[in-house]
Structure 1
Amino acid sequence: MTSSDFPASTGPAPPSPLAVLTALSFALVVLTAAWGLVDDRLLQGVPVWSKPLKFAVSFTVLFATLALAEQRLSPAWRGSWTLRLTTAVMAAAMIGEMAYIIAMAAQQTASHYNVATPFTALMYSLMGVGALALVAGVAVFGLAALRDAGARLAPGLRWGIGWGFLLSAGLTLVTAGYMGSAGTHVGTQLAGAATLPLFGWSASVGDIRPAHFLALHAMQVLPLAGLLADRNAIPVHRLRWVALAYTALTAAVFAQALAGLPLVRL
């Protein structure tokens, strides 16, 4: 009897890189939340660990969304060098950004808009490059959903993932690009001025972050709309109105912030 007489062992498939990145991001959510419970220092009037926590939550949602979309793609696309390289670049961007944000929070020092020294100015620029890589990665996955003929995607879901990811990338470039070039995300706010609970957005002056939030989450909203369209036999072409309405809402919130008006005044 030889080894060939026994069936090959087929254990569970290893988790995908995107699933690993989702788990890593969630671990950072737990870490930063726990750290915040024992470290009550403030930075510019905000708990010092709130920014690392928010970014960890955002990365968890991002990579979980990409992982769910990737599962629907054909094996050829999932194993392609295009998506492998895209995932690797996004992983490097996330790890580098979170490491810097956490390190600066530990020192009770701002990570964003901090150009006080050559080092912090360089790191802020590198974070901008990383953010651009993440946005481009989302667009690549969107294009893959639209082009993969073998994907397990009904018409509405394919449209929602493809155009939702592309719309999210485009809107994020506008909102995040403006914040980066302006060097701030909020107008001149007095110390102790009201902010929206949980989000921390200004409730007294214009704040770009609500528009940025909408831009980021187009990649969840449009796929959900596509899924509902498939389940209710709604023609795909009607989803264009959802995309237009979502874009108009994001643009309106963005314009409101540029006019100096808060999303909600408290």
Structure 2
Amino acid sequence: MSDNGISLRSLHRPLVVLTGAMAVLCLVSLLGLAIDDRTMVNAPIWLKPFKFTVAIGSYAITLALLLSQVRRARRTGWWLGTVFAFAIGLDMALLVFQMIFRDRQLHFNKETAADSAINNVVAGGAYLAWLAIAAVAVLLLCQRMPDRALSSALRWGTGLSLAGMAAAMFMFSATPEQAAVFRAGGQPTTFGAHTVGAPDGGPGLPLTGWSSVGGDLRIPHFVGIHAIQVVPLIALGLVLLARRHPALRSDLVRRRLVRTAALGYAGMFVILTWQALRGQSVAHPDFWTLLAAAGVLAAMAGAAALSVRARPVFRSETVVGVG
């Protein structure tokens, strides 16, 4: 990285390679959606690879950009990024192998010894990636950056992303139907599910497939994971807005706003998790869900107003220029 910006050659190479591979697989998945009429769990068989390539590709390049900001323990950061790229790359290879070439369900599949082994390796890769991100979060706490608002955004975004990855653990517990099979002395062919209160593969929202009749744990998982992109983008957006709004030129004000946004994001993540675990579809929130969401939004609005109105202190903070 140079003082003038970030060059492609300075980015974490394994993560850049992973991003490129996801871009290629995304195009292949789009072609598959167009010409392959196979389905799995009542969805086009290429839909899961498509969604995963978009999510993982955007996450990998974001992580590469984030690691370019690391100054202390750069080699440690490089190894953590490499571990993440390897673990998630292996998981994606197994996803394509299991679903497209074997025509078998990937997640929760315990039907045969091979299915169970592949499922276990994928779960192991996900846990390894989670540990790598946890270590990156700790690494970011040790960094000093010129723009403290952006520094705060990177830390909050990584921490929330870690929580989003952890939310997937709720999926890997027995459903009531699977538990009944265990109690009867049997062995269910699947263990765990995306949906709470309804079977996987039921009516879902367009494109995402998130359940429209029950709770869906993929929603908080998705929202939490992508905080690593959303929160830093808020910080960068505040920098751009500061060119027109003098109140935002104070790093202190922007840092407060970033923390407000991150706490609000965390509140919404908790609400979505709570909603999913109650078996409630995101498309049909009840009174208590709406009340909780309104409370979080009101608290964010109040905190943001106080942050902007607070008198900035300029003596030791970064002030954003207009050039």
- 2:168 is the counterpart of 1:176: yes
1:25 aligns with 22
What is the one-letter code of the residue matched to 2:54?
V
* Cα 1:13/1:104, change in 2 over 3 Å: closer
Contact 1:77 1:148 in 2 (8 A): no
Distance 1:166 1:190 in 2: 31
DSSP-derived class of the 1:111 partner: coil
**What per-residue deviation string (whole Å, max 9, x for no partner) do you get for residues 46-77 of structure 1?**
00111111111111011111122223333x64
What is the one-letter code of the residue matched to 1:122?
A
- RMSD of aligned C-alpha atoms? 2.4
1:72 aligns with 69
What is the one-letter code of the residue matched to 1:35?
G
1:220 aligns with 229
- 2:156 is the counterpart of 1:163: yes
Unpaired segments of 5 or more residues in structure 2? Answer: 1-7, 175-191, 243-247, 286-323
Distance 2:62 2:37 in 1: 32
CA displacement at 1:179 relative to structure 2: 0.7
Contact 1:229 1:236 in 2 (8 A): no
Counterparts of residues 104-183 of structure 1 (less than 5 Å): 104-106=98-100, 107-149=102-144, 151=145, 153-173=146-166, 175-182=167-174, 183=192
CA displacement at 1:197 relative to structure 2: 0.7
Counterparts of residues 198-209 of structure 1 (less than 5 Å): 198-209=207-218
Contact 1:144 1:162 in 2 (8 A): no
Contact 1:158 1:226 in 2 (8 A): no
Contact 2:18 2:85 in 1 (8 A): yes
What is the one-letter code of the residue matched to 2:123?
G
* Cα 1:253/1:24, change in 2 over 3 Å: same
CA displacement at 1:257 relative to structure 2: 1.4
Distance 1:188 1:248 in 2: 23
2:93 aligns with one of 91, 96, 99? 99
Distance 1:70 1:192 in 2: 38
Farther off after superposition, 82-91 or 185-194: 185-194
1:86 aligns with one of 72, 80, 93? 80
DSSP-derived class of the 2:212 partner: coil
Normalised by the length of structure 2, the TM-score is 0.70
Counterparts of residues 26-41 of structure 1 (less than 5 Å): 26-41=23-38
- 2:42 is the counterpart of 1:48: no
- 2:245 is the counterpart of 1:253: no
CA displacement at 1:93 relative to structure 2: 1.0
Counterparts of residues 186-205 of structure 1 (less than 5 Å): 186-189=195-198, 193-205=202-214
Contact 2:197 2:279 in 1 (8 A): no
CA displacement at 1:166 relative to structure 2: 1.5
DSSP-derived class of the 1:194 partner: coil
1:3 aligns with none
Contact 2:11 2:65 in 1 (8 A): no
* Cα 1:217/1:192, change in 2 over 3 Å: closer
CA displacement at 1:194 relative to structure 2: 2.8
Distance 1:179 1:119 in 2: 21
* Cα 1:88/1:16, change in 2 over 3 Å: closer
Farther off after superposition, 131-140 or 157-166: 131-140
DSSP-derived class of the 1:73 partner: coil
DSSP-derived class of the 1:181 partner: coil
Contact 2:12 2:78 in 1 (8 A): no
What is the one-letter code of the residue matched to 1:258?
L
1:6 aligns with none
Normalised by the length of structure 1, the TM-score is 0.84
Farther off after superposition, 12-21 or 97-106: 12-21
DSSP-derived class of the 1:121 partner: helix
Distance 1:258 1:121 in 2: 25
Distance 1:35 1:15 in 2: 31
- 2:53 is the counterpart of 1:59: no
Unpaired segments of 5 or more residues in structure 1? Answer: 1-11
Distance 1:96 1:212 in 2: 20
